[in-house]
Amino acid sequence: MTEVALVPSPEAGAALAAGLIAETLAQRADAVLGVATGSTPLGVWAQLRDQGVDVASTPAFALDEYVGLRTGHPESYRSVLEREYAAPLGVDPTLLRVPGDDGGPLATAGARFEAAITRAGGIDLQILGIGRTGHIGFNEPGSSLASRTRVKALTEQTRSDNARFFDHAGQVPTHCLTQGLGTILQARTLVLLAFGSAKSNAVTRAVEGPLSSSCPGSVIQLHPHVIVIVDEEAGASLEYRDYYRFAWEHRSLDSIQAPA
Protein backbone atom coordinates (compact mmCIF):
# COMPACT_ATOMS: atom_id res chain seq x y z
CA MET A 1 0.00 0.00 0.00
CA THR A 2 0.97 3.63 -0.17
CA GLU A 3 1.80 5.01 3.24
CA VAL A 4 1.73 8.79 3.52
CA ALA A 5 3.85 10.47 6.18
CA LEU A 6 2.79 14.09 6.76
CA VAL A 7 5.81 15.78 8.32
CA PRO A 8 6.12 19.23 9.89
CA SER A 9 8.96 20.43 7.65
CA PRO A 10 11.16 19.43 4.70
CA GLU A 11 13.98 18.84 7.20
CA ALA A 12 11.84 16.35 9.12
CA GLY A 13 10.94 14.66 5.82
CA ALA A 14 14.57 14.42 4.79
CA ALA A 15 15.49 12.96 8.19
CA LEU A 16 12.74 10.36 7.83
CA ALA A 17 13.92 9.37 4.33
CA ALA A 18 17.54 9.12 5.52
CA GLY A 19 16.35 6.89 8.35
CA LEU A 20 14.57 4.62 5.86
CA ILE A 21 17.79 4.35 3.84
CA ALA A 22 19.70 3.49 7.02
CA GLU A 23 17.14 0.77 7.83
CA THR A 24 17.51 -0.69 4.34
CA LEU A 25 21.30 -0.79 4.64
CA ALA A 26 21.05 -2.37 8.09
CA GLN A 27 18.81 -5.11 6.70
CA ARG A 28 20.90 -5.73 3.59
CA ALA A 29 24.61 -5.05 3.55
CA ASP A 30 24.67 -5.31 -0.25
CA ALA A 31 21.70 -2.99 -0.75
CA VAL A 32 21.42 -0.93 -3.94
CA LEU A 33 20.03 2.61 -3.85
CA GLY A 34 18.11 4.58 -6.46
CA VAL A 35 19.02 8.25 -6.27
CA ALA A 36 17.28 11.29 -7.72
CA THR A 37 18.11 14.83 -8.71
CA GLY A 38 16.10 18.04 -8.30
CA SER A 39 16.12 20.18 -5.18
CA THR A 40 13.92 17.90 -3.10
CA PRO A 41 16.40 15.07 -2.30
CA LEU A 42 19.23 17.44 -1.32
CA GLY A 43 18.12 17.45 2.31
CA VAL A 44 18.17 13.64 2.32
CA TRP A 45 21.86 13.58 1.35
CA ALA A 46 22.59 16.16 4.09
CA GLN A 47 20.74 14.00 6.61
CA LEU A 48 22.64 10.88 5.57
CA ARG A 49 25.80 12.77 6.43
CA ASP A 50 24.43 14.17 9.70
CA GLN A 51 23.09 10.78 10.79
CA GLY A 52 26.40 9.11 9.90
CA VAL A 53 24.76 6.72 7.41
CA ASP A 54 27.56 5.08 5.44
CA VAL A 55 26.64 4.80 1.74
CA ALA A 56 30.27 4.96 0.57
CA SER A 57 30.26 1.43 -0.82
CA THR A 58 26.59 1.27 -1.84
CA PRO A 59 25.92 1.10 -5.59
CA ALA A 60 23.56 3.87 -6.69
CA PHE A 61 21.49 4.20 -9.88
CA ALA A 62 20.11 7.53 -11.00
CA LEU A 63 16.61 7.97 -12.36
CA ASP A 64 17.40 10.09 -15.37
CA GLU A 65 19.76 12.26 -17.38
CA TYR A 66 19.54 15.01 -19.95
CA VAL A 67 20.40 14.16 -23.53
CA GLY A 68 22.67 16.53 -25.42
CA LEU A 69 24.81 18.05 -22.65
CA ARG A 70 28.55 17.53 -23.06
CA THR A 71 30.19 15.02 -20.70
CA GLY A 72 31.05 16.83 -17.49
CA HIS A 73 28.54 19.67 -18.05
CA PRO A 74 27.90 20.98 -14.52
CA GLU A 75 24.13 20.58 -14.91
CA SER A 76 24.23 17.06 -16.29
CA TYR A 77 22.64 14.81 -13.70
CA ARG A 78 25.87 12.79 -13.59
CA SER A 79 27.76 15.93 -12.50
CA VAL A 80 25.01 17.02 -10.12
CA LEU A 81 24.97 13.63 -8.39
CA GLU A 82 28.77 13.45 -8.22
CA ARG A 83 28.85 16.91 -6.65
CA GLU A 84 25.83 16.71 -4.34
CA TYR A 85 25.59 13.03 -3.48
CA ALA A 86 28.79 11.08 -4.16
CA ALA A 87 31.49 13.58 -3.13
CA PRO A 88 30.01 14.69 0.22
CA LEU A 89 29.17 11.10 1.18
CA GLY A 90 32.45 9.59 0.04
CA VAL A 91 30.83 7.40 -2.63
CA ASP A 92 33.25 6.01 -5.20
CA PRO A 93 32.01 7.61 -8.47
CA THR A 94 32.35 4.25 -10.23
CA LEU A 95 29.55 2.96 -7.97
CA LEU A 96 27.23 5.65 -9.35
CA ARG A 97 25.48 4.86 -12.64
CA VAL A 98 23.48 7.42 -14.59
CA PRO A 99 21.58 6.55 -17.80
CA GLY A 100 23.83 7.06 -20.82
CA ASP A 101 27.03 7.60 -18.82
CA ASP A 102 28.83 4.57 -20.27
CA GLY A 103 29.60 6.33 -23.55
CA GLY A 104 27.76 3.79 -25.74
CA PRO A 105 25.18 4.55 -28.42
CA LEU A 106 22.12 6.50 -27.29
CA ALA A 107 19.69 4.14 -29.01
CA THR A 108 20.66 1.24 -26.73
CA ALA A 109 21.54 3.26 -23.60
CA GLY A 110 18.26 2.33 -21.92
CA ALA A 111 18.75 -1.39 -22.38
CA ARG A 112 22.35 -1.19 -21.13
CA PHE A 113 21.26 0.75 -18.06
CA GLU A 114 18.51 -1.77 -17.28
CA ALA A 115 21.01 -4.61 -17.66
CA ALA A 116 23.34 -2.89 -15.18
CA ILE A 117 20.50 -2.60 -12.64
CA THR A 118 19.72 -6.29 -13.09
CA ARG A 119 23.41 -7.26 -12.70
CA ALA A 120 23.52 -5.30 -9.43
CA GLY A 121 20.57 -7.34 -8.13
CA GLY A 122 17.88 -4.66 -8.55
CA ILE A 123 17.24 -1.46 -6.62
CA ASP A 124 16.25 -1.89 -2.98
CA LEU A 125 15.12 1.64 -2.22
CA GLN A 126 14.37 4.27 -4.85
CA ILE A 127 14.22 7.92 -3.83
CA LEU A 128 11.75 9.90 -5.96
CA GLY A 129 10.75 13.52 -6.31
CA ILE A 130 7.77 14.62 -8.37
CA GLY A 131 7.50 17.32 -10.99
CA ARG A 132 4.58 19.69 -11.32
CA THR A 133 3.41 17.77 -14.40
CA GLY A 134 3.17 14.70 -12.16
CA HIS A 135 6.34 13.25 -13.64
CA ILE A 136 8.58 10.89 -11.73
CA GLY A 137 12.06 10.50 -13.16
CA PHE A 138 11.44 12.35 -16.39
CA ASN A 139 8.37 10.31 -17.33
CA GLU A 140 6.15 13.05 -18.66
CA PRO A 141 2.36 12.75 -19.09
CA GLY A 142 1.51 10.06 -21.60
CA SER A 143 4.35 7.77 -20.51
CA SER A 144 3.41 4.12 -20.64
CA LEU A 145 2.82 2.74 -17.18
CA ALA A 146 4.97 -0.22 -18.29
CA SER A 147 7.75 1.85 -19.87
CA ARG A 148 11.44 0.98 -19.57
CA THR A 149 14.51 3.25 -19.63
CA ARG A 150 14.40 5.24 -22.87
CA VAL A 151 14.72 8.63 -24.53
CA LYS A 152 11.81 11.03 -23.88
CA ALA A 153 10.96 14.58 -24.95
CA LEU A 154 10.52 17.04 -22.06
CA THR A 155 7.40 19.18 -21.67
CA GLU A 156 7.64 22.97 -21.82
CA GLN A 157 6.52 23.08 -18.17
CA THR A 158 9.44 20.88 -17.07
CA ARG A 159 11.92 22.78 -19.23
CA SER A 160 10.79 26.06 -17.74
CA ASP A 161 10.83 24.62 -14.16
CA ASN A 162 14.41 23.44 -14.76
CA ALA A 163 15.57 26.65 -16.46
CA ARG A 164 16.72 27.92 -13.05
CA PHE A 165 19.74 25.64 -13.30
CA PHE A 166 20.85 27.13 -16.64
CA ASP A 167 21.80 30.63 -17.82
CA HIS A 168 18.65 30.84 -19.93
CA ALA A 169 15.66 28.67 -20.80
CA GLY A 170 16.96 27.93 -24.29
CA GLN A 171 19.88 26.00 -22.79
CA VAL A 172 17.61 23.41 -21.15
CA PRO A 173 17.82 20.21 -23.21
CA THR A 174 14.71 19.14 -25.06
CA HIS A 175 15.23 15.41 -24.40
CA CYS A 176 16.27 13.07 -21.64
CA LEU A 177 16.98 9.45 -20.84
CA THR A 178 14.80 8.25 -18.00
CA GLN A 179 14.09 5.06 -16.16
CA GLY A 180 10.63 3.98 -17.27
CA LEU A 181 7.63 3.71 -14.99
CA GLY A 182 7.89 -0.08 -15.28
CA THR A 183 11.55 0.15 -14.28
CA ILE A 184 10.75 2.29 -11.24
CA LEU A 185 8.04 -0.18 -10.18
CA GLN A 186 10.68 -2.91 -9.92
CA ALA A 187 12.51 -1.19 -7.05
CA ARG A 188 11.66 -3.02 -3.82
CA THR A 189 10.66 0.15 -1.94
CA LEU A 190 9.74 3.58 -3.29
CA VAL A 191 10.18 6.71 -1.18
CA LEU A 192 8.60 9.75 -2.83
CA LEU A 193 9.24 13.17 -1.30
CA ALA A 194 7.43 16.43 -2.05
CA PHE A 195 7.45 19.71 -0.19
CA GLY A 196 5.65 23.00 -0.67
CA SER A 197 2.30 24.06 -2.09
CA ALA A 198 3.50 23.97 -5.72
CA LYS A 199 3.57 20.15 -5.42
CA SER A 200 0.18 19.64 -3.78
CA ASN A 201 -1.76 19.08 -6.99
CA ALA A 202 0.77 16.56 -8.34
CA VAL A 203 0.90 14.74 -4.98
CA THR A 204 -2.89 14.45 -4.77
CA ARG A 205 -3.13 13.19 -8.33
CA ALA A 206 -0.33 10.68 -7.75
CA VAL A 207 -1.63 9.32 -4.45
CA GLU A 208 -5.40 9.61 -4.87
CA GLY A 209 -6.09 10.38 -8.50
CA PRO A 210 -7.05 7.79 -11.05
CA LEU A 211 -4.22 5.54 -12.20
CA SER A 212 -3.42 7.23 -15.47
CA SER A 213 -0.50 7.98 -17.74
CA SER A 214 -1.76 11.59 -17.63
CA CYS A 215 -0.25 11.68 -14.14
CA PRO A 216 2.76 9.34 -14.41
CA GLY A 217 3.32 9.55 -10.64
CA SER A 218 0.02 7.73 -10.12
CA VAL A 219 1.85 4.54 -11.11
CA ILE A 220 3.03 4.34 -7.49
CA GLN A 221 -0.46 3.02 -6.71
CA LEU A 222 0.58 -0.24 -8.40
CA HIS A 223 3.56 -0.71 -6.08
CA PRO A 224 3.17 -2.78 -2.90
CA HIS A 225 5.57 -0.74 -0.77
CA VAL A 226 5.57 3.03 -1.20
CA ILE A 227 6.20 5.71 1.39
CA VAL A 228 5.16 9.23 0.37
CA ILE A 229 6.72 11.91 2.55
CA VAL A 230 5.05 15.32 2.32
CA ASP A 231 4.95 18.46 4.40
CA GLU A 232 1.60 20.03 5.29
CA GLU A 233 1.66 22.26 2.18
CA ALA A 234 2.33 19.47 -0.30
CA GLY A 235 -0.23 17.24 1.44
CA ALA A 236 -2.85 19.98 1.85
CA SER A 237 -5.30 18.73 -0.77
CA LEU A 238 -5.13 15.03 0.08
CA GLU A 239 -8.68 13.91 0.76
CA TYR A 240 -7.69 11.20 3.24
CA ARG A 241 -4.91 13.03 5.05
CA ASP A 242 -6.40 12.51 8.53
CA TYR A 243 -6.53 8.78 7.86
CA TYR A 244 -2.93 8.77 6.57
CA ARG A 245 -1.82 10.61 9.69
CA PHE A 246 -3.57 8.10 11.94
CA ALA A 247 -2.25 5.10 9.99
CA TRP A 248 1.31 6.46 10.03
CA GLU A 249 1.20 7.13 13.78
CA HIS A 250 -0.01 3.56 14.32
CA ARG A 251 2.17 1.84 11.76
CA SER A 252 3.77 -0.37 14.38
CA LEU A 253 1.59 -3.37 15.28
CA ASP A 254 2.51 -2.66 18.91
CA SER A 255 0.58 0.62 18.74
CA ILE A 256 -2.76 -1.05 18.01
CA GLN A 257 -5.03 -0.84 21.03
CA ALA A 258 -8.38 -2.46 21.60
CA PRO A 259 -11.19 0.09 21.37
CA ALA A 260 -12.46 1.24 24.79
Positions touching ligand GLP (CB under 6 A) are 36-40, 63-64, 129-131, 137-138, 158, 162
Q: Report the nearest approach of ligand GLP to the CB of residue 85 (Å).
A: 13
CB nearer to ligand GLP: give 40 or 58: 40
Amino acid at 247: A
CB nearer to ligand GLP: give 59 or 216: 216
Q: State the Cα–Cα distance between residues 64 and 137, nearest whole angstrom.
A: 6
Q: Report the nearest approach of ligand GLP to the CB of residue 122 (Å).
A: 20
- Edge-first strand order for the sheet with 64-67 is 64-67, 175-178, 150-153
Q: Report the nearest approach of ligand GLP to the CB of residue 184 (Å).
A: 10
CB nearer to ligand GLP: give 28 or 144: 144
Q: Return the H-helix or E-strand segment holding 194.
A: strand 189-194
Whole-number Cα distances in Å, 81 to 55, 89, 104, 170, 260: 14, 11, 20, 23, 52
Q: Report the nearest approach of ligand GLP to the CB of residue 130 (Å).
A: 5
Whole-number Cα distances in Å, 85 to 55, 66, 79, 96: 10, 18, 10, 10
CB nearer to ligand GLP: give 37 or 183: 37
How many other CB atoms sit within 10 Å of the CB of residue 74?
10
Q: Report the nearest approach of ligand GLP to the CB of residue 237 (Å).
A: 17
CB nearer to ligand GLP: give 46 or 247: 46
